Amino acid sequence: MVDSRRLREVALTPEEYRVIVSELRRAPNAVELGMLGVLWSEHCSYKTSKALLRRLPSSGDAVLQGPGENAGAVEIGQGWAAVFKIESHNHPSAIEPYQGAATGVGGIIRDVIAMGARPIALLDSLRFGPLPASRHHFDGVVAGIGGYGNCIGIPTVGGEVYFDECYAQNPLVNAMCVGLVRVDRLMRARAEGTGNSLMLVGADTGRDGIHGASFASVELDESSSERRPAVQVGNPFLEKCLLEACMDLARTDAVVAVQDLGAAGLTSSVAECAGRVHAAGARIDISLVPRRERGMTPYDVMLSESQERMLVVVQRGREAEVERIFETWDLTSAVIGDVTDDGHLTVFDCRSTCSPTAPHFAAWSGSRPSRHRRCTSTRCRRSRTRARRCSVCWPARTSAAAGRSSAGTTTWSATRRWCLREATRPCCASRARGLGSR
């Protein structure tokens, strides 16, 4: 049984921990516990407010997209749709008013972008304690919302603000983004197509924002300032480049889906994108995730909430075409995994040297535990390039793809388990010896 301090850190209750153990049929490891903590947080799952939210109207003749996606969409005539997203950033703004509000705006802008729309306006609804005592929160939040949007070129066109004693030291910060898109270009973040690539684009991954989503499930008290590192730091100028790159991306048919990396970072984006498709899953190798800090653990990579990042589902074989678009805007892009049809989220960490003691773990998508896979080879000299992926650590996607080669793809020998571009040595150990499951 995990200790209560650790459960408080990931904002899980003892009852929730017992459910996890029951579903997995074993105790979760540290990474699994952290991932489930953020996925089951109030910010990601709405576990306490979902029952109330379901009572609100969400359908109608003009509604193109209701709950369940990155943003809602309503048809407004002449082939156009208005896309909108509202989100709160209360706890981060209470601790760090400027960055808490700014990164909240950055997140909803990316949600609108993920629907294929161009953001055109911001609005806000704010609640503070009485002035002048709440001046620090008031000035920081207003500057954060307006400052982030202005740097990108998206104006704050309206809003409301109230002051009351009940909001002292605990402001309510709700921001809204509105975008426009042609109805026939409206996108959904669904990881469809087994074998399609998962590409991480935008900023490099750091340690900022870890446990940021879990923070939404705890009560603010005198110790809340200790969670300041859980508040992310935004870069609106990089997000402007990301916005324009995604607009270029929407004009191609190489992309299946786009998903924002916000709360819970890579954990949430991959799980949500795959969870929207029946029986879909995902396999990712976190050693391929671009990082801006050394010594990051799998826990850090999966829970990082570094801003200005997107997950793109790319049609297999067209990765180079998508990479060129992001290179045009001087943005990082890296294929970190692919879509599977097993209903599991399987995570590998296979660096240049694989070790039985390396932290390999299983994650969970939906209600099914994932497979636990471990590479036992000590001689795997894998490159970060897609052309040298080991056929044991990274199995050939289909037998039909084995032996074929095209720009940006890997050539496989399905029978001998050799990487044909690295044919001077075998890749890892044999499949029977190199992989295990439980």
Q: Would you list the domain boundaries of the chain?
A: 68-185, 375-438
43-64: burial string, b at 16+ Cβ within 10 Å, e else? bbbeeeeeeeeeeeeeeeeeeb
CB 266 within 8 A of CB 31: no
End-to-end CA distance of the chain: 20
User: Class of 68-185 per CATH?
Assistant: alpha beta
pLDDT of residue 388: 36
Query: Residue 43 catalytic?
Result: yes
Structure tokens, 134: 């709440």
0.85 exceeded by the pTM?
no
pLDDT of residue 223: 52
At 293 the three-state DSSP class reads coil
pLDDT of residue 177: 98
CB 262 within 8 A of CB 305: yes
* Cα(353)–Cα(102) distance, integer angstroms: 40
Which residue stretches of the chain have pLDDT < 50? 224-225, 227-228, 352-438
The single residue of 89, 91, 137, 360 carrying the catalytic annotation is: 89
The backbone torsions φ and ψ at residue 163, rounded to the nearest 5 degrees and listed phi first, read -125, 130
CB burial of residue 238 (10 Å; 0-12, 13-18, 19+) = buried
Give the residue among 296, 227, 284 at the shortest CA–CA distance from 259.
284
pLDDT of residue 51: 87
pLDDT in tens, 99-154: 999 999 999 999 999 999 999 999 999 999 999 999 999 999 999 999 999 999 99
Structure tokens, 251: 């004009």
pLDDT of residue 352: 35
* Cα(215)–Cα(223) distance, integer angstroms: 12
pLDDT of residue 260: 94
CB 206 within 8 A of CB 295: no
- Determine which helix (DSSP H) or strand (DSSP E) holds 141, and give its type and residue range: helix 135-152
Give the residue among 282, 392, 405 at the shortest CA–CA distance from 335.
282
Structure tokens, 123: 């609005």
